């Protein structure tokens, strides 16, 4: 039996004003439209389905918030337990509310995302839970569906493909998906915050990206480059997406558009930016 909340099939929207501003044909893949408000739902549906198949009593993850909200919801749907390990004080309140609302257990750990990840693996070992971080390949298998949707809707690959780069799992999933769907990759520009340790885009506050090697591989194979953006660039892009296109995403989700503002694509190119999570995930960032 597959565990689903109706994830995927998210809107791929033309962005006419930002296209004009950057001189490209820009499309925005709005992953905030998934059931728990982020792209994580695609992979979680597969990972929790497989965990249930294996008879696991529960799942566990370390998270900056979105993986947590997703794992909790899919576990509740499946009728198994979820334990969520978070770096203390680093997760946006609404994401923790999502976790609590569906009855998952929250464990706060002092330190960074990596410390929380190490603690989550210990908990998995101790309780026989399945780890549903992106090191679980079922997550990658599920997330690659977004690349298939893009190829199907555009009738082929875009020229350039831009998305936020936290741990790199999503970049890895899209590379796999594009390769399967089109036999090639668009030019990849995974975009990271210059201030990885303390960026205001809390979803991508990850100092040591666990999939760095796969990200480098996708970038090299596609002739792309990792782009690094400042806090001001992230904020400007995030506001522009809202004010000019009417889409409210969370700050981390604006990374791809920030890379575009830095010149990651050439005039006339067809570009897809992934908006990874909904703005309601982190509403306090909006100035009153
Ligand atoms: N955008 C959002 C909204 C995220 O929540 C994340 C990661 C990313 C981008 C980066 O994706 O790690 O695959 O490169 N969030 C994880 C979490 C770390 O715990 O929710 P990545």
CATH no. for residue 18?
3.40.50.1100
Q: 114 C-alpha to center of ligand 1: Å?
A: 14
Q: What is the mean pLDDT of residues 74-80?
A: 98
Q: What is the pLDDT of residue 288?
A: 72
Asked whether 168 lines ligand 1 (CB < 6 A), one says yes
| 33's tokens | 């439209």
Q: Domain check: are 23 and 131 in the same one?
A: no
Q: What is the pLDDT of residue 287?
A: 82
Token pair 């480098």: residue: 216
Token pair 């993850």: residue: 61
Count of domains in the chain?
2
Our mutation pick for probing the ligand 1 site, out of 98, 135, 203, counting the most ligand atoms within 8 A of Cβ, is 203
pLDDT digits (tens, 9 = 90+) for 157-175: 999 999 999 999 999 999 9
Q: Domain check: are 132 and 144 in the same one?
A: no
* Domain presence at residue 205: yes
Q: Domain check: are 121 and 70 in the same one?
A: yes
Q: Domain check: are 24 and 164 in the same one?
A: yes
Q: What is the pLDDT of residue 97?
A: 97
Q: From the CA of 163, give the closest atom in ligand 1.
A: 9
* Domain presence at residue 158: yes
Average pLDDT across the chain, whole number? 97
Asked whether 250 lines ligand 1 (CB < 6 A), one says yes
Pairing of strands 105-109, 160-164: unpaired
* Domain presence at residue 6: no
Distance (Å) of CA 70 to CA 66, 127, 128, 154, 252: 6, 20, 20, 28, 17
Q: What is the pLDDT of residue 107?
A: 97
Q: Domain check: are 266 and 239 in the same one?
A: yes
Asked whether 134 lines ligand 1 (CB < 6 A), one says yes
- At 1, the pLDDT band (50, 70, 90 cuts) reads confident
Burial of 195 (0-12, 13-18, 19+ CB in 10 A): middle
* Domain presence at residue 162: yes
- At 89, the pLDDT band (50, 70, 90 cuts) reads very high
Residues pairing with 28 in the sheet? 13, 273
Q: 204 C-alpha to center of ligand 1: Å?
A: 6
Which percentage of the chain shows pLDDT scores above 90?
98
What is the chain's Cα-based Rg?
Answer: 18
Identify the domain boundary among 88, 118, 136.
136
Q: For 254, which DSSP code? A: G
Q: Domain check: are 132 and 260 in the same one?
A: no
Q: Domain check: are 145 and 202 in the same one?
A: yes
| 42's tokens | 């695609």
pLDDT digits (tens, 9 = 90+) for 198-231: 999 999 999 999 999 999 999 999 999 999 999 9
pLDDT digits (tens, 9 = 90+) for 264-274: 999 999 999 99
Q: From the CA of 143, give the closest atom in ligand 1.
A: 13
Q: What is the pLDDT of residue 277?
A: 98
Look up the pTM and report it. 0.98
User: Domain of 132?
Assistant: 40-136
Q: Domain check: are 186 and 273 in the same one?
A: yes
Q: 142 C-alpha to center of ligand 1: Å?
A: 15
Q: 52 C-alpha to center of ligand 1: Å?
A: 24
């Amino acid at each position: 039996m597959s565990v689903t909340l109706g994830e995927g099939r998210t809107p791929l929207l033309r962005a006419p004003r930002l296209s004009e501003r950057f001189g490209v044909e820009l499309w925005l893949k709005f992953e905030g439209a998934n059931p728990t408000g982020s792209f994580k739902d695609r992979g979680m549906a597969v990972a929790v389905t497989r965990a249930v198949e294996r008879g696991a009593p529960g799942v566990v993850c370390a998270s900056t918030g979105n993986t947590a909200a997703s794992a909790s919801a899919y576990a509740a749907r499946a009728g198994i337990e979820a334990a969520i390990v978070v770096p203390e004080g680093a997760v946006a309140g609404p994401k923790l509310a999502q976790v609590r609302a569906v009855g998952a257990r929250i464990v706060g750990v002092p330190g960074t995302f990596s410390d929380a990840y190490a603690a989550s693996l210990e908990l998995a070992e101790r309780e026989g839970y399945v780890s549903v971080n992106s090191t679980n390949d079922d997550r990658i298998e599920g997330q690659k569906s977004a690349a298939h949707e893009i190829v199907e809707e555009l009738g082929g690959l875009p020229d350039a493909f831009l998305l936020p780069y936290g741990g790199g799992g999503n970049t890895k999933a899209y590379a796999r998906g594009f390769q399967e769907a089109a036999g090639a990759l668009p030019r990849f520009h995974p975009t990271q915050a210059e201030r990885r340790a303390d960026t205001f885009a809390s979803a991508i506050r990850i100092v040591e990206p666990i999939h760095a090697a796969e990200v480098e591989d996708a970038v090299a194979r596609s002739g792309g480059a990792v782009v690094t953006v400042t806090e001001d660039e992230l904020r400007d892009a995030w506001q522009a997406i809202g004010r000019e296109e009417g889409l409210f995403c969370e700050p981390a989700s604006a990374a791809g558009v920030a890379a575009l503002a830095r010149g990651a694509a050439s005039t006339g190119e067809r570009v897809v930016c992934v908006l990874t999570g909904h703005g309601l995930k982190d509403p306090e960032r909006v100035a009153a």
